[in-house]
Structure 1
Amino acid sequence: MKEINIRKIGVILRPSTPELKESYYRLEKVFQKYNIEVLIDSISGGMIGIMGMEFDILCQNSDILVTLGGDGTLISTVRRSFKYDIPILGVYAGNLGFLADVQLDELDDFVEKLSIGNYRVDERAILEARFTQNANEIKRYAFNDIVITRHSVSNMIHVETLVDSKAFNTYHGDGVIVSTPTGSTAYNLSAGGPVLFPLTNVFALTPICPHSLTQRPVVLPGEFSIEMKTPMEKALVIIDGQDKHELDEGQSIHIKLASSKVRLIHKNEFNYFDVLKEKLGWGA
Protein backbone atom coordinates (compact mmCIF):
# COMPACT_ATOMS: atom_id res chain seq x y z
CA MET A 1 0.00 0.00 0.00
CA LYS A 2 1.36 3.38 -1.02
CA GLU A 3 2.21 5.61 1.93
CA ILE A 4 -0.12 8.57 2.45
CA ASN A 5 1.44 12.01 2.57
CA ILE A 6 -0.47 13.48 5.51
CA ARG A 7 -0.36 17.26 5.66
CA LYS A 8 -4.01 18.04 6.42
CA ILE A 9 -6.64 16.10 8.34
CA GLY A 10 -10.39 16.61 8.47
CA VAL A 11 -12.02 15.95 11.85
CA ILE A 12 -15.57 14.74 12.44
CA LEU A 13 -16.91 14.58 16.00
CA ARG A 14 -19.65 12.39 17.40
CA PRO A 15 -22.90 14.35 16.88
CA SER A 16 -24.75 15.96 19.80
CA THR A 17 -21.72 15.65 22.09
CA PRO A 18 -20.50 19.21 22.84
CA GLU A 19 -18.49 17.83 25.76
CA LEU A 20 -15.97 16.62 23.15
CA LYS A 21 -14.68 20.19 22.83
CA GLU A 22 -11.75 19.64 25.18
CA SER A 23 -10.93 16.32 23.49
CA TYR A 24 -10.94 18.02 20.09
CA TYR A 25 -8.43 20.63 21.26
CA ARG A 26 -6.22 17.85 22.63
CA LEU A 27 -6.40 16.09 19.26
CA GLU A 28 -5.71 19.29 17.37
CA LYS A 29 -2.66 20.02 19.52
CA VAL A 30 -1.20 16.56 18.89
CA PHE A 31 -1.50 16.76 15.11
CA GLN A 32 -0.18 20.32 14.98
CA LYS A 33 2.84 19.17 16.97
CA TYR A 34 3.79 17.10 13.91
CA ASN A 35 3.09 19.97 11.47
CA ILE A 36 -0.22 18.54 10.32
CA GLU A 37 -2.97 21.08 9.69
CA VAL A 38 -6.30 20.33 11.35
CA LEU A 39 -9.65 21.12 9.70
CA ILE A 40 -13.09 20.37 11.12
CA ASP A 41 -16.45 19.91 9.46
CA SER A 42 -19.05 22.61 9.94
CA ILE A 43 -21.54 20.54 11.97
CA SER A 44 -18.85 19.40 14.41
CA GLY A 45 -17.40 22.90 14.57
CA GLY A 46 -20.78 24.48 15.24
CA MET A 47 -21.38 21.98 18.04
CA ILE A 48 -18.27 23.13 19.93
CA GLY A 49 -18.43 26.79 18.92
CA ILE A 50 -15.71 27.07 16.26
CA MET A 51 -15.74 27.73 12.53
CA GLY A 52 -15.86 24.59 10.41
CA MET A 53 -15.92 23.58 6.76
CA GLU A 54 -18.75 22.04 4.74
CA PHE A 55 -18.26 18.25 4.68
CA ASP A 56 -17.68 17.77 0.94
CA ILE A 57 -15.18 20.62 0.86
CA LEU A 58 -13.49 19.14 3.94
CA CYS A 59 -13.03 15.82 2.10
CA GLN A 60 -11.58 17.57 -0.93
CA ASN A 61 -9.06 19.45 1.21
CA SER A 62 -7.95 16.66 3.58
CA ASP A 63 -5.43 13.84 3.14
CA ILE A 64 -7.24 11.69 5.70
CA LEU A 65 -10.34 11.99 7.87
CA VAL A 66 -10.20 11.49 11.64
CA THR A 67 -13.34 10.62 13.58
CA LEU A 68 -13.57 11.29 17.31
CA GLY A 69 -16.35 9.31 18.94
CA GLY A 70 -17.21 5.66 18.45
CA ASP A 71 -17.94 3.15 15.72
CA GLY A 72 -21.21 4.88 14.80
CA THR A 73 -19.38 8.13 14.03
CA LEU A 74 -16.87 6.27 11.89
CA ILE A 75 -19.55 4.32 9.99
CA SER A 76 -21.49 7.50 9.20
CA THR A 77 -18.28 9.19 8.01
CA VAL A 78 -17.38 6.22 5.80
CA ARG A 79 -20.73 6.37 4.03
CA ARG A 80 -20.66 10.14 3.53
CA SER A 81 -17.06 10.26 2.31
CA PHE A 82 -16.90 7.05 0.26
CA LYS A 83 -17.00 8.75 -3.13
CA TYR A 84 -13.83 10.69 -2.24
CA ASP A 85 -11.78 7.51 -1.57
CA ILE A 86 -10.17 9.06 1.49
CA PRO A 87 -8.58 7.00 4.30
CA ILE A 88 -10.16 7.25 7.76
CA LEU A 89 -8.64 7.01 11.23
CA GLY A 90 -10.97 6.31 14.14
CA VAL A 91 -10.11 7.77 17.55
CA TYR A 92 -12.48 6.52 20.19
CA ALA A 93 -13.91 8.60 22.99
CA GLY A 94 -15.23 6.06 25.46
CA ASN A 95 -15.02 2.30 25.11
CA LEU A 96 -12.97 0.37 22.56
CA GLY A 97 -14.91 -0.27 19.38
CA PHE A 98 -14.57 -2.79 16.57
CA LEU A 99 -13.39 -0.08 14.17
CA ALA A 100 -11.84 2.82 16.09
CA ASP A 101 -8.78 1.41 17.81
CA VAL A 102 -6.75 4.49 18.86
CA GLN A 103 -7.61 6.16 22.14
CA LEU A 104 -6.94 9.80 22.87
CA ASP A 105 -4.29 9.08 25.51
CA GLU A 106 -2.14 7.17 22.98
CA LEU A 107 -2.73 9.56 20.09
CA ASP A 108 0.59 11.41 20.45
CA ASP A 109 2.55 8.17 20.15
CA PHE A 110 0.47 7.03 17.18
CA VAL A 111 0.66 10.33 15.27
CA GLU A 112 4.43 10.23 15.62
CA LYS A 113 4.35 6.81 13.96
CA LEU A 114 1.84 8.10 11.41
CA SER A 115 4.22 10.93 10.45
CA ILE A 116 7.00 8.44 9.59
CA GLY A 117 4.79 5.88 7.86
CA ASN A 118 4.60 3.38 10.71
CA TYR A 119 0.97 2.34 10.36
CA ARG A 120 -1.17 0.13 8.18
CA VAL A 121 -4.19 0.68 5.96
CA ASP A 122 -6.86 -2.04 5.85
CA GLU A 123 -9.22 -2.25 2.88
CA ARG A 124 -12.77 -3.29 3.72
CA ALA A 125 -15.76 -4.10 1.54
CA ILE A 126 -18.82 -1.87 1.44
CA LEU A 127 -22.29 -2.62 0.07
CA GLU A 128 -23.81 -0.64 -2.78
CA ALA A 129 -27.61 -0.57 -3.06
CA ARG A 130 -29.74 0.73 -5.93
CA PHE A 131 -33.50 1.23 -5.96
CA THR A 132 -36.06 3.58 -7.47
CA GLN A 133 -37.89 6.25 -5.50
CA ASN A 134 -40.28 8.79 -7.03
CA ALA A 135 -39.04 7.79 -10.52
CA ASN A 136 -35.45 8.55 -9.51
CA GLU A 137 -32.73 5.92 -9.11
CA ILE A 138 -31.25 6.08 -5.62
CA LYS A 139 -27.79 4.77 -4.78
CA ARG A 140 -26.72 4.22 -1.18
CA TYR A 141 -23.71 2.67 0.53
CA ALA A 142 -23.69 0.55 3.68
CA PHE A 143 -20.56 -0.21 5.68
CA ASN A 144 -22.29 -2.55 8.14
CA ASP A 145 -25.55 -3.82 6.71
CA ILE A 146 -28.71 -3.34 4.72
CA VAL A 147 -31.87 -4.63 6.41
CA ILE A 148 -35.03 -5.40 4.47
CA THR A 149 -37.80 -5.68 7.02
CA ARG A 150 -41.56 -5.56 7.40
CA HIS A 151 -43.39 -2.26 7.06
CA SER A 152 -45.91 -3.17 9.76
CA VAL A 153 -45.11 -5.01 12.99
CA SER A 154 -48.34 -6.97 12.70
CA ASN A 155 -47.39 -8.68 9.42
CA MET A 156 -44.78 -11.17 8.33
CA ILE A 157 -42.75 -10.22 5.24
CA HIS A 158 -41.96 -12.32 2.17
CA VAL A 159 -38.64 -11.39 0.56
CA GLU A 160 -37.95 -12.94 -2.84
CA THR A 161 -34.21 -13.11 -3.46
CA LEU A 162 -32.33 -13.59 -6.72
CA VAL A 163 -28.58 -14.19 -6.98
CA ASP A 164 -27.03 -13.07 -10.27
CA SER A 165 -30.58 -12.84 -11.70
CA LYS A 166 -31.40 -16.46 -10.78
CA ALA A 167 -34.07 -17.38 -8.23
CA PHE A 168 -32.40 -18.22 -4.92
CA ASN A 169 -34.77 -18.12 -1.94
CA THR A 170 -37.91 -16.58 -0.51
CA TYR A 171 -37.51 -15.52 3.10
CA HIS A 172 -40.62 -15.57 5.33
CA GLY A 173 -40.34 -13.81 8.66
CA ASP A 174 -39.33 -10.42 10.00
CA GLY A 175 -36.89 -9.72 7.18
CA VAL A 176 -33.33 -10.26 5.97
CA ILE A 177 -29.97 -8.72 6.86
CA VAL A 178 -27.40 -8.27 4.10
CA SER A 179 -24.13 -7.81 5.95
CA THR A 180 -20.57 -6.89 5.06
CA PRO A 181 -17.71 -8.63 6.90
CA THR A 182 -17.32 -5.45 8.96
CA GLY A 183 -21.00 -5.53 9.90
CA SER A 184 -21.01 -9.22 10.71
CA THR A 185 -20.47 -8.44 14.42
CA ALA A 186 -23.42 -6.02 14.51
CA TYR A 187 -27.12 -6.84 13.88
CA ASN A 188 -26.06 -9.88 11.85
CA LEU A 189 -24.46 -11.46 14.92
CA SER A 190 -27.53 -10.76 17.07
CA ALA A 191 -29.70 -12.52 14.48
CA GLY A 192 -27.49 -15.64 14.55
CA GLY A 193 -25.40 -14.82 11.50
CA PRO A 194 -21.72 -15.76 11.07
CA VAL A 195 -18.72 -13.70 12.16
CA LEU A 196 -16.73 -12.86 9.01
CA PHE A 197 -13.10 -11.80 8.95
CA PRO A 198 -13.29 -8.09 8.04
CA LEU A 199 -10.80 -8.14 5.15
CA THR A 200 -12.58 -10.86 3.17
CA ASN A 201 -14.51 -10.05 -0.01
CA VAL A 202 -17.81 -11.71 0.84
CA PHE A 203 -21.20 -10.81 2.27
CA ALA A 204 -23.83 -12.64 4.31
CA LEU A 205 -27.61 -13.04 4.02
CA THR A 206 -29.14 -13.68 7.44
CA PRO A 207 -32.91 -14.14 7.97
CA ILE A 208 -34.49 -12.31 10.91
CA CYS A 209 -36.80 -14.53 12.99
CA PRO A 210 -37.59 -16.82 10.03
CA HIS A 211 -40.95 -18.58 9.89
CA SER A 212 -39.17 -21.85 9.02
CA LEU A 213 -36.16 -23.30 10.83
CA THR A 214 -34.78 -24.42 7.45
CA GLN A 215 -33.93 -20.77 6.67
CA ARG A 216 -30.24 -20.31 7.55
CA PRO A 217 -27.55 -17.66 7.03
CA VAL A 218 -25.64 -17.88 3.75
CA VAL A 219 -22.24 -16.39 2.88
CA LEU A 220 -21.84 -15.36 -0.77
CA PRO A 221 -18.72 -14.47 -2.77
CA GLY A 222 -18.19 -10.77 -3.31
CA GLU A 223 -18.55 -10.95 -7.09
CA PHE A 224 -22.20 -11.97 -6.80
CA SER A 225 -25.06 -9.48 -6.93
CA ILE A 226 -28.51 -9.92 -5.44
CA GLU A 227 -31.98 -8.58 -6.08
CA MET A 228 -34.59 -8.53 -3.32
CA LYS A 229 -38.27 -7.67 -3.59
CA THR A 230 -41.45 -8.06 -1.58
CA PRO A 231 -44.27 -8.94 -4.01
CA MET A 232 -47.02 -9.05 -1.38
CA GLU A 233 -46.40 -5.99 0.84
CA LYS A 234 -44.42 -2.83 1.37
CA ALA A 235 -41.01 -3.08 3.00
CA LEU A 236 -38.57 -0.90 4.87
CA VAL A 237 -34.93 -0.70 3.87
CA ILE A 238 -32.64 0.36 6.73
CA ILE A 239 -29.04 1.22 5.88
CA ASP A 240 -26.46 0.96 8.66
CA GLY A 241 -29.24 1.64 11.15
CA GLN A 242 -29.04 5.30 10.08
CA ASP A 243 -31.02 5.75 6.84
CA LYS A 244 -34.53 4.47 6.23
CA HIS A 245 -36.30 4.07 2.88
CA GLU A 246 -39.62 2.57 1.86
CA LEU A 247 -40.06 -0.01 -0.91
CA ASP A 248 -43.45 -0.35 -2.54
CA GLU A 249 -45.10 -3.70 -3.12
CA GLY A 250 -43.20 -5.59 -5.84
CA GLN A 251 -40.37 -3.06 -5.99
CA SER A 252 -36.78 -4.36 -6.14
CA ILE A 253 -33.57 -3.36 -4.44
CA HIS A 254 -30.29 -4.41 -6.07
CA ILE A 255 -27.34 -5.02 -3.75
CA LYS A 256 -23.70 -5.86 -4.43
CA LEU A 257 -20.25 -5.12 -3.05
CA ALA A 258 -18.96 -1.81 -4.40
CA SER A 259 -16.00 -1.96 -6.80
CA SER A 260 -13.91 0.22 -4.45
CA LYS A 261 -13.02 -0.48 -0.83
CA VAL A 262 -13.08 1.56 2.37
CA ARG A 263 -9.59 2.35 3.68
CA LEU A 264 -9.17 2.37 7.46
CA ILE A 265 -5.95 3.45 9.16
CA HIS A 266 -4.82 1.26 12.04
CA LYS A 267 -1.89 0.76 14.33
CA ASN A 268 0.46 -1.90 12.94
CA GLU A 269 -0.22 -4.00 16.01
CA PHE A 270 -4.02 -3.83 15.65
CA ASN A 271 -5.36 -7.39 15.87
CA TYR A 272 -8.97 -8.09 14.98
CA PHE A 273 -9.07 -11.32 16.97
CA ASP A 274 -7.94 -9.52 20.13
CA VAL A 275 -10.84 -7.11 19.67
CA LEU A 276 -13.26 -10.01 19.18
CA LYS A 277 -12.03 -11.71 22.34
CA GLU A 278 -12.42 -8.52 24.36
CA LYS A 279 -15.77 -7.40 22.97
CA LEU A 280 -17.43 -10.84 22.88
CA GLY A 281 -15.77 -12.28 25.95
CA TRP A 282 -14.28 -15.24 24.08
CA GLY A 283 -11.96 -17.42 26.14
CA ALA A 284 -13.21 -15.93 29.42
Structure 2
Amino acid sequence: MKLNKNLELLSSTNKAGIILRPSSPELEEVFDNIKSIFEKNNIEVFLEDNSANMINQKGLSLDELCSKVDFLVSVGGDGTLLSVVRKSFNYNKPVLGINLGTLGFLTDISMDELENFLHDFKNDNYKIDNRMMIKGAINLNTFVAFNDIVISRKSISSMIKIDAKIDNKHFNSYYGDGVIISTPTGSTAYNLSVGGPIVYPLTEAFIITPIAPHSLTQRPLVMPADFEIEFTITDAQGAVVIVDGQDIYEVEENETIKIKISNQNAKMIHRCQRNYFEVLNEKLRWGN
Protein backbone atom coordinates (compact mmCIF):
# COMPACT_ATOMS: atom_id res chain seq x y z
CA MET A 1 0.00 0.00 0.00
CA LYS A 2 1.32 3.43 -0.98
CA LEU A 3 0.52 6.18 1.46
CA ASN A 4 -0.03 8.80 -1.24
CA LYS A 5 -3.03 6.90 -2.61
CA ASN A 6 -5.36 8.67 -0.20
CA LEU A 7 -4.12 12.15 -1.16
CA GLU A 8 -5.89 12.02 -4.53
CA LEU A 9 -8.79 14.44 -4.97
CA LEU A 10 -11.10 15.28 -7.86
CA SER A 11 -10.29 18.34 -9.95
CA SER A 12 -14.01 19.09 -10.17
CA THR A 13 -16.99 18.02 -8.03
CA ASN A 14 -19.77 19.84 -9.89
CA LYS A 15 -21.51 17.01 -11.79
CA ALA A 16 -22.73 13.68 -10.39
CA GLY A 17 -24.09 10.67 -12.24
CA ILE A 18 -26.69 8.72 -10.24
CA ILE A 19 -27.33 4.98 -10.64
CA LEU A 20 -30.12 3.42 -8.58
CA ARG A 21 -30.55 -0.13 -7.32
CA PRO A 22 -32.28 -2.10 -10.12
CA SER A 23 -35.89 -3.28 -9.87
CA SER A 24 -36.65 -0.72 -7.15
CA PRO A 25 -39.22 1.78 -8.50
CA GLU A 26 -39.94 2.77 -4.89
CA LEU A 27 -36.66 4.72 -5.01
CA GLU A 28 -38.28 7.61 -6.92
CA GLU A 29 -38.82 9.61 -3.74
CA VAL A 30 -35.31 8.74 -2.53
CA PHE A 31 -33.84 9.98 -5.81
CA ASP A 32 -35.79 13.26 -5.59
CA ASN A 33 -34.44 13.76 -2.09
CA ILE A 34 -30.86 12.98 -3.19
CA LYS A 35 -31.16 15.34 -6.15
CA SER A 36 -32.39 18.14 -3.88
CA ILE A 37 -29.49 17.65 -1.44
CA PHE A 38 -26.90 17.55 -4.24
CA GLU A 39 -28.29 20.67 -5.93
CA LYS A 40 -28.30 22.49 -2.59
CA ASN A 41 -24.54 21.82 -2.56
CA ASN A 42 -24.12 23.15 -6.13
CA ILE A 43 -23.75 19.69 -7.69
CA GLU A 44 -25.69 19.09 -10.89
CA VAL A 45 -27.31 15.65 -11.04
CA PHE A 46 -27.70 13.34 -14.05
CA LEU A 47 -29.53 10.01 -13.96
CA GLU A 48 -28.49 6.81 -15.78
CA ASP A 49 -31.15 5.73 -18.28
CA ASN A 50 -32.06 2.33 -16.80
CA SER A 51 -32.57 4.00 -13.44
CA ALA A 52 -34.51 6.80 -15.11
CA ASN A 53 -36.86 4.42 -16.93
CA MET A 54 -37.51 2.61 -13.65
CA ILE A 55 -38.84 5.78 -11.99
CA ASN A 56 -40.35 7.39 -15.12
CA GLN A 57 -37.75 10.12 -15.55
CA LYS A 58 -35.31 11.11 -18.28
CA GLY A 59 -31.78 9.76 -18.24
CA LEU A 60 -28.53 9.29 -20.13
CA SER A 61 -26.85 6.15 -21.40
CA LEU A 62 -23.91 4.97 -19.32
CA ASP A 63 -21.51 6.21 -22.03
CA GLU A 64 -23.07 9.67 -22.05
CA LEU A 65 -23.28 9.76 -18.27
CA CYS A 66 -19.63 8.86 -17.69
CA SER A 67 -18.40 11.33 -20.31
CA LYS A 68 -20.41 14.15 -18.73
CA VAL A 69 -19.95 13.77 -14.96
CA ASP A 70 -17.08 14.15 -12.48
CA PHE A 71 -18.05 11.15 -10.35
CA LEU A 72 -20.71 8.45 -10.05
CA VAL A 73 -23.11 7.76 -7.19
CA SER A 74 -24.43 4.28 -6.45
CA VAL A 75 -27.71 4.24 -4.52
CA GLY A 76 -28.54 0.92 -2.86
CA GLY A 77 -26.13 -1.45 -1.16
CA ASP A 78 -22.81 -3.16 -1.77
CA GLY A 79 -24.25 -5.23 -4.62
CA THR A 80 -25.40 -2.12 -6.49
CA LEU A 81 -22.03 -0.46 -6.00
CA LEU A 82 -20.21 -3.57 -7.19
CA SER A 83 -22.23 -3.51 -10.41
CA VAL A 84 -21.64 0.22 -10.93
CA VAL A 85 -17.87 -0.14 -10.47
CA ARG A 86 -17.66 -2.96 -13.02
CA LYS A 87 -19.89 -1.29 -15.63
CA SER A 88 -18.09 2.05 -15.39
CA PHE A 89 -14.58 0.63 -14.98
CA ASN A 90 -13.27 1.72 -18.40
CA TYR A 91 -14.24 5.33 -17.69
CA ASN A 92 -12.07 5.58 -14.55
CA LYS A 93 -14.74 7.48 -12.60
CA PRO A 94 -14.67 7.51 -8.78
CA VAL A 95 -17.81 6.06 -7.19
CA LEU A 96 -19.61 7.22 -4.05
CA GLY A 97 -21.88 4.67 -2.39
CA ILE A 98 -25.08 5.77 -0.67
CA ASN A 99 -26.28 2.94 1.51
CA LEU A 100 -30.02 2.38 1.90
CA GLY A 101 -29.73 -0.62 4.21
CA THR A 102 -27.42 -1.61 7.02
CA LEU A 103 -23.78 -0.54 7.13
CA GLY A 104 -21.94 -1.94 4.11
CA PHE A 105 -18.33 -2.89 3.56
CA LEU A 106 -18.28 -0.63 0.47
CA THR A 107 -21.17 1.82 0.91
CA ASP A 108 -20.76 3.89 4.05
CA ILE A 109 -22.83 7.06 3.51
CA SER A 110 -26.42 6.86 4.77
CA MET A 111 -29.17 9.24 3.68
CA ASP A 112 -29.04 10.86 7.14
CA GLU A 113 -25.33 11.59 6.66
CA LEU A 114 -25.48 12.72 3.02
CA GLU A 115 -25.95 16.45 3.53
CA ASN A 116 -23.07 16.74 6.01
CA PHE A 117 -20.86 14.58 3.82
CA LEU A 118 -21.50 16.71 0.72
CA HIS A 119 -20.58 19.85 2.69
CA ASP A 120 -17.24 18.19 3.51
CA PHE A 121 -16.94 16.84 -0.03
CA LYS A 122 -17.24 20.30 -1.57
CA ASN A 123 -14.52 21.49 0.83
CA ASP A 124 -12.13 18.68 -0.21
CA ASN A 125 -12.62 16.87 3.07
CA TYR A 126 -12.89 13.31 1.74
CA LYS A 127 -10.66 10.53 0.47
CA ILE A 128 -10.44 8.36 -2.62
CA ASP A 129 -9.46 4.73 -2.09
CA ASN A 130 -7.76 2.98 -5.00
CA ARG A 131 -8.92 -0.64 -4.96
CA MET A 132 -7.16 -3.42 -6.84
CA MET A 133 -9.07 -5.07 -9.69
CA ILE A 134 -8.49 -8.50 -11.23
CA LYS A 135 -8.23 -8.99 -14.99
CA GLY A 136 -9.18 -12.43 -16.30
CA ALA A 137 -9.16 -14.17 -19.67
CA ILE A 138 -10.74 -17.36 -21.00
CA ASN A 139 -9.74 -17.84 -24.63
CA LEU A 140 -10.89 -14.58 -26.30
CA ASN A 141 -13.19 -13.55 -23.45
CA THR A 142 -11.67 -10.95 -21.12
CA PHE A 143 -13.26 -9.50 -17.99
CA VAL A 144 -12.51 -7.61 -14.78
CA ALA A 145 -13.53 -8.48 -11.24
CA PHE A 146 -13.83 -6.20 -8.23
CA ASN A 147 -14.51 -8.88 -5.60
CA ASP A 148 -13.66 -12.29 -6.95
CA ILE A 149 -13.48 -14.89 -9.68
CA VAL A 150 -14.93 -18.26 -8.67
CA ILE A 151 -14.09 -21.48 -10.52
CA SER A 152 -16.77 -23.97 -9.59
CA ARG A 153 -17.95 -27.46 -10.47
CA LYS A 154 -20.78 -27.79 -12.98
CA SER A 155 -22.51 -30.67 -11.22
CA ILE A 156 -23.51 -30.72 -7.57
CA SER A 157 -22.92 -34.48 -7.49
CA SER A 158 -19.21 -34.44 -8.34
CA MET A 159 -16.00 -32.63 -7.42
CA ILE A 160 -13.78 -30.68 -9.80
CA LYS A 161 -10.08 -31.02 -10.61
CA ILE A 162 -8.06 -27.86 -11.28
CA ASP A 163 -4.33 -27.51 -11.95
CA ALA A 164 -2.77 -24.17 -10.99
CA LYS A 165 0.36 -22.40 -12.19
CA ILE A 166 2.09 -19.24 -10.98
CA ASP A 167 4.16 -17.50 -13.66
CA ASN A 168 3.99 -20.66 -15.81
CA LYS A 169 5.21 -22.99 -13.05
CA HIS A 170 2.93 -25.60 -11.50
CA PHE A 171 2.26 -24.95 -7.82
CA ASN A 172 -0.91 -26.83 -6.87
CA SER A 173 -3.71 -29.17 -7.92
CA TYR A 174 -7.11 -28.54 -6.39
CA TYR A 175 -9.77 -31.22 -5.96
CA GLY A 176 -13.04 -30.22 -4.38
CA ASP A 177 -15.96 -27.86 -5.04
CA GLY A 178 -13.78 -25.19 -6.65
CA VAL A 179 -11.45 -22.25 -6.04
CA ILE A 180 -12.00 -18.55 -5.24
CA ILE A 181 -9.52 -15.97 -6.51
CA SER A 182 -10.28 -12.84 -4.53
CA THR A 183 -9.11 -9.26 -4.32
CA PRO A 184 -8.51 -7.76 -0.86
CA THR A 185 -11.81 -5.89 -1.27
CA GLY A 186 -13.55 -9.21 -1.93
CA SER A 187 -11.88 -10.93 1.00
CA THR A 188 -14.96 -10.19 3.13
CA ALA A 189 -17.33 -11.71 0.54
CA TYR A 190 -17.48 -15.37 -0.59
CA ASN A 191 -13.84 -15.83 0.42
CA LEU A 192 -14.69 -15.14 4.07
CA SER A 193 -17.65 -17.51 4.08
CA VAL A 194 -15.46 -20.51 3.14
CA GLY A 195 -12.77 -19.74 5.70
CA GLY A 196 -10.46 -17.45 3.71
CA PRO A 197 -8.53 -14.61 5.38
CA ILE A 198 -9.57 -10.98 5.64
CA VAL A 199 -7.01 -8.76 3.86
CA TYR A 200 -6.88 -4.96 4.24
CA PRO A 201 -8.62 -3.57 1.12
CA LEU A 202 -5.83 -1.23 -0.03
CA THR A 203 -3.34 -4.10 -0.17
CA GLU A 204 -2.35 -5.39 -3.62
CA ALA A 205 -2.54 -9.17 -3.31
CA PHE A 206 -4.38 -12.22 -4.60
CA ILE A 207 -6.20 -14.51 -2.18
CA ILE A 208 -6.61 -18.06 -3.48
CA THR A 209 -9.05 -20.06 -1.36
CA PRO A 210 -10.17 -23.64 -2.07
CA ILE A 211 -13.88 -24.40 -1.67
CA ALA A 212 -14.54 -27.57 0.34
CA PRO A 213 -11.23 -29.21 -0.69
CA HIS A 214 -10.97 -32.99 -0.64
CA SER A 215 -7.62 -32.74 1.17
CA LEU A 216 -7.31 -31.01 4.54
CA THR A 217 -3.79 -29.89 3.57
CA GLN A 218 -5.23 -27.40 1.04
CA ARG A 219 -5.19 -23.95 2.64
CA PRO A 220 -5.90 -20.37 1.52
CA LEU A 221 -2.91 -18.59 -0.02
CA VAL A 222 -2.21 -14.85 -0.02
CA MET A 223 0.34 -13.80 -2.63
CA PRO A 224 1.69 -10.59 -4.21
CA ALA A 225 -0.35 -9.28 -7.12
CA ASP A 226 2.57 -9.04 -9.56
CA PHE A 227 2.30 -12.76 -10.42
CA GLU A 228 0.17 -14.17 -13.24
CA ILE A 229 -1.92 -17.17 -12.24
CA GLU A 230 -3.33 -19.88 -14.51
CA PHE A 231 -5.99 -22.44 -13.67
CA THR A 232 -6.52 -25.34 -16.06
CA ILE A 233 -9.63 -27.50 -15.79
CA THR A 234 -8.60 -31.16 -15.83
CA ASP A 235 -12.09 -32.50 -15.20
CA ALA A 236 -14.03 -34.05 -18.10
CA GLN A 237 -17.21 -32.29 -16.99
CA GLY A 238 -15.63 -28.86 -17.30
CA ALA A 239 -16.40 -25.97 -14.94
CA VAL A 240 -18.18 -22.66 -14.58
CA VAL A 241 -16.40 -19.37 -13.91
CA ILE A 242 -18.43 -16.77 -12.01
CA VAL A 243 -17.21 -13.16 -12.03
CA ASP A 244 -18.33 -11.06 -9.06
CA GLY A 245 -21.43 -13.23 -8.78
CA GLN A 246 -22.80 -11.50 -11.90
CA ASP A 247 -21.27 -12.96 -15.10
CA ILE A 248 -20.96 -16.69 -15.81
CA TYR A 249 -18.69 -18.46 -18.32
CA GLU A 250 -18.62 -22.17 -19.11
CA VAL A 251 -15.16 -23.74 -19.37
CA GLU A 252 -14.40 -27.12 -20.93
CA GLU A 253 -11.78 -29.71 -20.01
CA ASN A 254 -8.17 -28.54 -20.65
CA GLU A 255 -9.23 -24.90 -21.02
CA THR A 256 -7.32 -22.31 -18.97
CA ILE A 257 -8.36 -19.26 -16.97
CA LYS A 258 -5.58 -16.67 -16.85
CA ILE A 259 -5.67 -14.10 -14.05
CA LYS A 260 -3.52 -11.06 -13.27
CA ILE A 261 -3.80 -7.66 -11.64
CA SER A 262 -5.50 -5.00 -13.74
CA ASN A 263 -3.38 -1.98 -14.65
CA GLN A 264 -6.24 0.26 -13.51
CA ASN A 265 -7.80 0.54 -10.06
CA ALA A 266 -11.38 1.08 -8.97
CA LYS A 267 -11.77 4.43 -7.22
CA MET A 268 -14.01 4.68 -4.17
CA ILE A 269 -15.06 7.96 -2.51
CA HIS A 270 -15.24 7.76 1.29
CA ARG A 271 -15.52 9.96 4.36
CA CYS A 272 -12.17 10.84 5.89
CA GLN A 273 -13.55 9.52 9.18
CA ARG A 274 -14.24 6.05 7.74
CA ASN A 275 -12.30 3.39 9.62
CA TYR A 276 -12.18 -0.04 7.99
CA PHE A 277 -11.57 -1.83 11.26
CA GLU A 278 -14.63 -0.23 12.85
CA VAL A 279 -16.64 -1.45 9.86
CA LEU A 280 -15.29 -4.97 10.40
CA ASN A 281 -16.12 -4.79 14.08
CA GLU A 282 -19.70 -3.73 13.40
CA LYS A 283 -20.40 -6.01 10.42
CA LEU A 284 -18.84 -9.12 11.93
CA ARG A 285 -19.87 -8.31 15.52
CA TRP A 286 -16.39 -8.88 16.85
CA GLY A 287 -16.28 -8.88 20.62
CA ASN A 288 -20.03 -9.53 21.02
TM-score, normalised to structure 1, is 0.97
Task: Tell me which of 185, 188, 191 is aligned to 2:188.
Answer: 185
- Give 2:258's aligned amino acid: H
217 and 2 in structure 1: CA distance in 2 versus 1, 3 angstrom threshold: closer
Q: CA RMSD in A?
A: 0.8
- 1:248 maps to 2:255: no
Cα displacement (A) at 1:94 = 1.3
Aligned to 2:281: 277
Moved over 6 A (4+): none
Secondary structure of the residue aligned to 1:35 is coil
1:95 aligned to 88, 99, 102, which one? Answer: 102
Measured against aligned partners, the alpha-carbon deviations of 1:258-283 in whole angstroms (never above 9, x if no partner) come to 11111100000000000000000111
Tell me the distance in 2 between the aligned counterparts of 1:218 and 1:178: 10
CA distance in 1: counterparts of 2:156 and 2:9, whole angstroms: 50
Q: Is contact 2:127-2:272 (8 Å) kept?
A: yes
Q: 2:6 matched to 1:3? A: no
- 1:59: how far off? 1.0
In structure 1, distance between residues paired with 2:107 and 2:200: 16
Q: How does 1:6-155 map to 2 (within 5 A)?
A: 6-132=13-139, 137-155=140-158
Q: Classify the secondary structure of the residue corresponding to 1:74.
A: helix
Equivalent position SS for 1:28? helix
Q: Is the 8 A contact 2:146 2:185 kept in 1?
A: yes
Which position in structure 1 is the counterpart of 2:227?
224
C-alpha separation in 1, matches of 2:63 and 2:170: 40
Normalized against structure 2, the TM-score is what? Answer: 0.96
Which letter maps to 2:23?
Answer: S
Q: 1:3 Cα shift? A: 2.4
2:9/2:128 contact within 8 Å kept = no
Residue 216 of structure 2 is aligned to residue 213 of structure 1: yes
Q: Distance in 1 between matches of 2:106 and 2:119?
A: 21
Unmatched runs of 5 consecutive residues or more in structure 1 = none
Q: Which runs of 5+ in 2 are unaligned?
A: 1-6
Match among 256, 260, 266 for residue 264 of structure 2:
260
What is the rounded CA distance, in whole Å, between the counterparts of 2:64 and 2:173 in structure 1? 44
Equivalents in 2 of 1:278, 1:34: separation in Å?
Answer: 31
1:163 aligned residue: 166
Q: CA deviation at 1:139?
A: 1.2
Q: Secondary structure at the match of 2:268?
A: strand
Question: 1:123 deviation in Å?
Answer: 0.8
Residue identity (%): 49
| Counterpart-to-counterpart distance in 2, 1:84 and 1:168 | 36
Of stretches 53-62 and 198-207 in structure 1, the one that deviates more from structure 2 is 53-62
C-alpha deviation, 1:188, in angstroms: 0.2
Q: Which moved more, 1:185-194 or 1:1-10?
A: 1-10
